[in-house]
Structure 1
C-alpha cells in the first residue's frame, strides 16, 4: 500500500468516525479479544438498523479524537479508554438492548496454551471415552481415574484451570482430547459513553425495577428514622397517623367511650 493510499484510508476512517460521533451521542466501548472476522460479521448483521460497529488501530483513533477536540471537547473523556483491543459500538437504540444483542453472539472456544482463563474450568466425573493407554497422561496431571468397561473414567470432578491462570500445554491437550470447549468469546462491553460522560458497563444492569426498589427502601428508612426522632415528614406521617388512631381506638375501648369513627 502506497503512501497516498494510506493517507486516503486514514481520511476515510476519520470522516466515518466523525460522522458517527455527530450522529450517535451514545456509544459502547467494547473489547474484542479472540473475536474472529466471521463472528464480527455476524454481530454487525445482528445490529443492523440498531447500532454500528467501528474498529480501528488505537493510534489512529486517538489521533482522530484529538483533531476533533476543538469542536467536541467532550470527546476527551474517551481518550483514556483507548487501549488494548477495543472498538466502538454506536447505539441507535437503548445501550442495554445493544449489549444484549452482542451477548447473544458469543461462541464456544477451545482452551489454547498460554491464554489466560476467563473462567474456572472443571472436568466432570465420569467416562471419558479414552482408552486405557492414556492413563499415564491423567496421572501426570494428578487426576484420579479408573478403568471401566475398557475406557478411562474420572473418579471425581477436577478443577483443572483457575480463572486468571495461564492455560498449560497439558491442560489444553486434555481438554482437546475430551472435546471440551470451556471458554466463550465475543465483544465485551467495558464502558458506556454518553454525551461526554463515561460510565461502567454495570450501569446497564440497572432497570426501572432496580430504581423503584431502591426508592422504596430509601422511603422506608426515612420513615423509620423520622419516627424515631418524632419528626413528622411526608414519609413518616401516614405511619404516625395510623399508629395514633390505634392508640386512640385502644383508649376508647378501655374507657367504654363510643366515637363516630
Structure 2
C-alpha cells in the first residue's frame, strides 16, 4: 500500500532495470485507494483471507447505507432524559430501572437510503457502528494479463461446461466452412427478416447485364 505515484514509479523502474515489461499493464489500475498483493498461493484462498479483515464504521450524515440498519431490542443504558431521540424516530421505548429500554427491534435505515442527522446521532449514542470497511479484490493480474475478480468464482465444472459449449459452436463453424452453400442459405434467410427490398428495385436489378453487376460489386463473399 502506498501513494499511487510511488507505486507507478516502482513498477516503471523495475521494468527498466529487469527488462520485464509485463507489470506495466498494472499502471492504469493504480487509481484511487488501491494496493498490490503479491502472492504465489492459491488466489481463491488469498481472496477469502483478504475479505476477513474489516473494521467497523459509524453511520455518518449523508452516507448512503450499504446495508439495512436495525436497532436491536434491549436496554440502551441511556438515562430517561434522552427519550426524545427515540421519539423523533418513532422507536417504542420504556423506562426500565432508570434507563431507556427499546421494546422491539426497529429497522432504522434501509439499504440505499441516506443517513439522516437523527439516525446518525442515535446510533452514535448507542455506540452502534453499523457499517464496515475492508479490502475488496478489484483485479487479478497474472503474466501480463489483467482479469476481473469474477474469474475466482469459477470452479472446474464451470470451466469444463464453457469449454464444451465452445467446442459445440466450433463444430458448426467447421460445417459452414466445409459447405459454402449452408452459409449462403443462412445469410439469405436472415436478410428478408431484417429488411425487404422494394419490388421496383428488384426489377431494375434484373434488367442490368451480368457483366455490369459483377463489376459493381467487385468482390465475392468467399474470395
TM class by shorter-chain length? 0.5 to 0.7
Please tell me whether Structure 1 or Structure 2 has the larger radius of gyration of its CA atoms: 2
Q: 2:6 aligns with which of 44, 57, 60?
A: 60
- Which residue among 125, 136, 153 is the counterpart of 2:102? 153
Taking the aligned partners of 1:179 and 1:152, their CA distance within structure 2 comes to 15
Counterpart in 1 of 2:69?
122
Matched, 1:75 2:23: yes
Q: Structure 1's 201 and 185: CA in aligned 2 closer, same or farther, altered over 3 A? A: same
Structure 1: where are the runs of 5+ without partners? 1-54, 227-261
1:6 is aligned to: none
- Per-residue deviation, 1:112: 4.9
Secondary structure at the residue paired with 2:137? strand
- TM-score, normalised to structure 1, is 0.51
Name which structure has the greater RCO, CA cutoff 8 Å, separation 6+: 1
1:155 deviates by 4.7
Question: Where does the alignment leave 5 or more consecutive residues of structure 2 unmatched?
Answer: 173-223
The reply to whether residue 191 of structure 1 matches residue 139 of structure 2 is: yes
Contact 2:138 / 2:148 at 8 angstroms: preserved in 1? Answer: yes
What RMSD, in angstroms, separates the aligned Cα atoms of the two structures? 3.3
After TM superposition, list the pairs within 5 Å mapping 1:134-149 onto structure 2. 134-140=82-88, 142-147=89-94, 149=96
Check conservation: 1:124, 1:157, Cα contact below 8 A.
Answer: yes
Corresponding residue for residue 211 of structure 1: 159
Report deviation, 1:207. 1.6
Checking the alignment, whether the CA contact within 8 Å between 1:117 and 1:161 is kept in structure 2 is no
Q: State the TM-score, normalized to the length of structure 2.
A: 0.59
Q: Does the C-alpha gap of structure 1 residues 101 and 164 become closer, same or farther in structure 2, counting only changes over 3 Å?
A: farther
